[in-house]
A and B are shown apart, each in its own frame.
Chain A
Amino acid sequence: MKKEQQLGLYHQMVLIRRVEERGAELYQQGKIGGFMHLYIGQEAVSTGLIAAREPRDRVITAYRDHGVALNCGLSPNQVMAELLGKSTGMSKGKGGSMHMASVEKNFWGGHAIVGGHLPVAAGLAVGDQYAKNDNVTICMFGDGATNIGYFHEALNLAKAWGLRVLWVCENNKYGMGTSVERASAVGEIRQKADGYGMGSERVDGMDVMKVYDAAKNAIEQVRRESTPYFLEVVTYRYRGHSMGDPERYRTQDEVKKWQLNDPIGIFRKYLMDKKVANAKALDEIDARAADEVNKAVEFAEASPEPALEELFTDIYVD
């Protein structure tokens, strides 16, 4: 990977973290409502994954979607405005934290029913198969989604029909507050792909370059062989499942242990060890990201509320 691209990934990871940190503050101030799920700790996953796609490859994810939106190329302004429910958000303030998307950026949401978007992801690939192109659909979901029926219907269909889908399970150890060990028949989630005759591998999700390399190979394989593939990306979220999680299901020691393995810290060290950038250059990127997020908050706060007439638009097309 070229130096500029590596620095670009570093910038994206820092940007996600700053957006999430500011989002948490704004939530506590009551400026963001509803449910909000932060991506802090998991930045390397979507950053590495989405960097490996061609622009024609589609991305669809669950409700922990702010980082994915940024990686797909949506601006911090649009993300922050949607969080604040403003008319300048990408979903015009009608979707909120869990429902970000952009057809232009080939990002198909932001879906809040656990596992519900997996058959839809298969459907995106059905559409591409029908159109006879070789686009790949990258479908991200949590470990919790692999225990629900939708998952199994979607994986089965994808394999039976030879759909170009890369299934990406972000195993962050807990489905809300219930650990993988307590909820899943198998601790190593990638084993579930075996039942569908699907190739799979397990990847260190705290290392962005490892995620990128695995995703690059997997996407090309899916494209070439016209069959789905399964990546289990092992990661960890530092914050609660959503805002207001009492976190009785894990110890702070456990969280601290994972924070020693911080994806931004790991990548920063990698970039310095490989002499891609020195500390000063990386600090400048940090400062730039912080500045962008400050401006995004200003933009979102200054943006107008949706007009009341918006209540009745976009229900039907015809």
Chain B
Amino acid sequence: MDQGNTAFVLISAALVLLMTPGLAFFYGGLVKAKSVVSMMMLSFGSLGLIAVLWVLYGYAIAFANEGPSTFLGIDGWFGIDTSFLGLEAQVADAADPAGAFPTMAFVAFQAAFAIITVALISGAIADRAKFGAWMVFAGIWATLVYFPVANWVFNFTLEDGKVVDGGWIVYDLGVIDFAGGTAVHINAGAAGLALAIVLGKRFGFSKGITQPHNVPLTLLGVALLWFGWFGFNAGSELAADGIASIAFINTLAAPAAAMLGWIIIEKIKHGKATSIGAGSGAIAGLVAITPACAVLDPIWGMALGLVAGALCALAIDLKFSLGFDDSLDVVGIHLVGGIVGTLWVGLFGNGVGAFFGYGFDQLGAQALGAVAVLVYSFVISLVVGLIIEKTMGFRVKAEDEIAGIDTVVHGEEAYAFGSDKG
């Protein structure tokens, strides 16, 4: 066991965990003042529930491999290793770690990924979702979608730098997704689209329906997300080495370029660059670089950021033309940014990109992986969402939505300034 390596994985895990509160503030600032408690609780609630499921059985599904007699299921597709339930085998390993770091450190790192992926979806249903229904959805979605998809993408065995076994997307298809462009962003984006369709439009849905009620809170969220994202991307190397450094510099370069790309589009379209646009641009760049951060030179990382920032700035208007109320642009940023970043690997990835004469094989594989996760997540999310909507109801009543859901669902108001003249 290497303490430096272990420390790196543990610190990265703490960084990624901080992203979910960061997301709560990013989303929270974007909604109206009467929904900010509800918005933040969708993230904090996911944090609570998904971490519990992860410890109990999530890790056992996501990182199960055929071989030991405790494995049940189809290797690389759907399965569970019963000796991982409650993290029993990982506790045993921690007493005398067999690898370069205790498996338990990896468990914690991956837990934070599961949590934030679920929390990301909640942006699509702002201002109108029941907390209980969301929690039911989150639990089922993590079980049926995230845990298996994480297995398809993140569970693999390396030998001499080659993937020799693992989930079907990473091993059979050969998709390169370093930190979760498919498993995290396309996955959450597709689910967000499905839920936006299931819940329907907010009352009075039109462009500019609500202004962000607290811009500094949103920018604080962006900053925490970006800070945590260094753990997300560089940490995915699971070692503090050269690859981690490339992932790190790209996690700096791409969002910076994306921020510029986004505000240039805004300047051209509306005449003014906004702070929300800059924040959204940074997130779009971070999303796009997630799958690609280890295989791009910084120049191509910046080019990706610029493209992703500009594309996402245009894509967030789709909801108005197509008429689905993806309230906080989970589709426009995470789905679109995730697809752009995943495909970019096939074009400009070192040693694989078509642009460097390696043909279009990798691009095809990337496209297949992206479509597979997109379709699977969308279909299951639509079905699960509809079942919840038909049974317990996913959406609050129209009058509650207009009155503001914070007091209705949580019995709280976010701010008490009026009653106290400070």
Mutual binders A and B: no
Residues of B within 8 A of A (CB): none
Residues of A within 8 A of B (CB): none
